[in-house]
Amino acid sequence: MRAVWSGAISFGLVNVPVKAYTAVEDHDISFHQVHDADGGRIRYQRTCEVCGKKVDYQNIDKAYSEGDDTIILSAEELKELPAAEDKEIEVLQFVPADQVDPIMFERSYFLEPEEKSPKSYLLLRQTLQDTDRVAIVQFSLRNKTRLGALRVRDKVLLLQGMLWADEVREVEFAGTKSRAKIGEKELKLSAALVEQYASDFTPEEFEDEYQVELRELIDAKLEAGDTLDTDATEGKAAPDGAAEADDDAEVIDLMEALKSSLDRKAGGSGSGEKSTSSAKKSGSSSKSGSGSSGGSGSKKSTSKKTSTSSKKTSGSASKSA
């Protein structure tokens, strides 16, 4: 694991040096988008809606809209706002564990003690266990001041990010205020049903069937060779994956026109040999499967990796991607 934060827990005059590691990971298979006609990757770029130009990240400010007014905030202005100390997890309170509503919990982080001096870490861990309390803390992560809870899990200090009080919605549903009477027989039957399902919670007993079957589907397509060449799906895009601007496209077209004019002016067998050589290269490229920007006729042969699925049309191959 790679540490996402390093600093110290601070309570009173005690400092506990720690490193933070993300405690959970998403097991969902991640997709990206492709063009259904040829399997090419879909890319997005930052474009100004006023001038229509692409905008580099360093030229982007933040803004907030309220009614008809938009307020622009520069990076310098945002830096002047008060924030929690970057390298400190400040303990604010020690509270009974049952007073913290689970709805407030966000992402969790494992805290690792410094190997050279773990005593203060062990002291804090033992104190939290003996008192059955959690530490309410404040810390800064990714330029945001955050609230958190510090507790013990399997001998490790766990930092759980928390929502601020005004981020939890208050709710009232009309049905919850109903005065409908619940009979004793209904309660007994309901309790009996609960007993039938009663068990101790074991997380490993539960499986994400959708992700399992999705993995099986992907593996089956890989085994059958029902795939596209990854490099081919990326075509001849710019290094940042964005399409070239219209002006650039016009320059390229102009250069091609000039080259064609020079070749035609030169004439003779040299240009014919060049055309033949170019055609041969194009043909061998199509057979090897390295091309990606041709029409639908060449796409079928360039994108497929194996012969097992070469009979499929380019349209169906793109759909499977």
Q: What is the pLDDT of residues 242-288, one digit of tens each?
A: 444 444 544 455 556 666 666 665 665 444 444 444 444 444 444 44
The whole-model pTM stands at 0.64
Let me know if residue 2 belongs to a domain. yes
Let me know if residue 228 belongs to a domain. no
Whether pLDDT at 221 is above 50 = yes
Instruction: Give the total number of structural domains in the chain.
Output: 1
Average pLDDT, the chain: 80
Give the model confidence (pLDDT) of 8-36 as tens digits.
999 888 899 999 999 999 899 999 999 99
Let me know if residue 7 belongs to a domain. yes
Let me know if residue 132 belongs to a domain. yes
CATH for 86: 2.40.290.10
Let me know if residue 69 belongs to a domain. no
Instruction: Provide the domain limits for residue 88.
Output: 1-26+75-169
Can you give the three-state secondary structure of the chain, one letter per residue? CCCCEEEEEEECCEEEEEEEEECCCCCCCCCCCECCCCCCECCCCCECCCCCCECCHHHCCEEEEECCEEEEECHHHHHCCCCCCCCEEEEEEEEEHHHCCHHHEEEEEEEEECCCCCHHHHHHHHHHHHHCEEEEEEEEECCEEEEEEEEEECCEEEEEEECCHHHCCCCCCHHHHCCCCCCHHHHHHHHHHHHHHCCCCCHHHCCCHHHHHHHHHHHHHHHHCCCECHHHHCCCCCCCCCCCCHHHHHHHHHHHHHHHHHHHHHCHHHHHHHHHHHHHHHHHHHHHCCCCCCCHHHHHHHHECCHHHCCCCHHHHHHHC
Let me know if residue 82 belongs to a domain. yes
Mean pLDDT of 64-80: 90
Let me know if residue 113 belongs to a domain. yes
Question: When comparing pLDDT for 258 and 78, which is higher?
Answer: 78
Mean pLDDT of 36-64: 92
**Residue 279, pLDDT score:** 40
Give the model confidence (pLDDT) of 143-152 as tens digits.
789 999 999 9
Let me know if residue 9 belongs to a domain. yes
Residues 6 or more apart in contact with residue 39 via CB below 8 angstroms: 228, 232, 233, 299, 303, 317, 318, 321
